[in-house]
Structure 1
Amino acid sequence: MTIYKKEAELEAVKERCAILDFGAQFGKVIDRRIRESAVYCEILPLNTPASKIVEDGYNAIVISGGPNSVYAPDAPAYDPEIFQLGLPILGICYGFQVINKEFGGSVGREELREDGQVDIEVDNSSEFFHALDPVQRVLLTHVER
């Protein structure tokens, strides 16, 4: 297969997801799961500019997890313009904290480590979540640092 043919095939892909990598130990698992859903995706540096996401034709963003705190002075940088693109964005772990903080929420600390499963409510009126049941069981891990 020539490079030209690969580029032409990528042009034909309609569903494209950018994974902004914040250091998730499960980044490749996230990537594989998205690809298993017949969606093309790439793991990109966390500071990828919003303009590059638009230029490359992504129509969804996943912000991965990572070991950092959103309140740390050396918290990883991202382009806040990604939140102005009108694309669906899924935050996983640290990525969810970034979204929460970006929109005026707060992130609290827990005294004890907690791991387990918890049910969350999903707004499945969104195109990104339309095929999901309104209640999803997810994994929860947090710890005092």
Structure 2
Amino acid sequence: MADIHIDIERMIMHSNYLLEVDNSSASNGLSDMERKQYLDQIKELVQTVQTLLDANIALGNKQKELQAEADRKIAGLQDQVDKLTGELQARRRKMHGKNNEKQTGDKSVNTGKTKDEEEGGGIHREWM
């Protein structure tokens, strides 16, 4: 981007130089009106190139700002994903640990009860 910027500035300076050389030359190949139109056209083109260069620089800066903002948002979202993933893994470990306790440890405590009774349930049938 910097090289393009320098090249464009060189082109602008060169155009201005040629414009001044043309102004100072004593060439009579063109009429005064043609010369004036030619010089006006060169000035207009130089201004157009300068305007485009300024707009390009402004858009480049805006793009950098937006990219930095997007990177910050992505980093924040990645932190949230990491946090929520950690919480999910902790819940899974906790749930897995509880399931293992029910399978191994609770049998000695609740002797004489069925699994449904341990969980507070049970089959209640009404006989007709």
TM band (smaller chain): under 0.3
More strand by share: 1
More helix by share: 2
Which protein is bigger by CA-based radius of gyration?
Answer: 2
Query: Which structure would you say has the larger RCO, counting Cα contacts within 8 Å and 6 or more residues apart?
Result: 2
TM-score by length of 1: 0.17
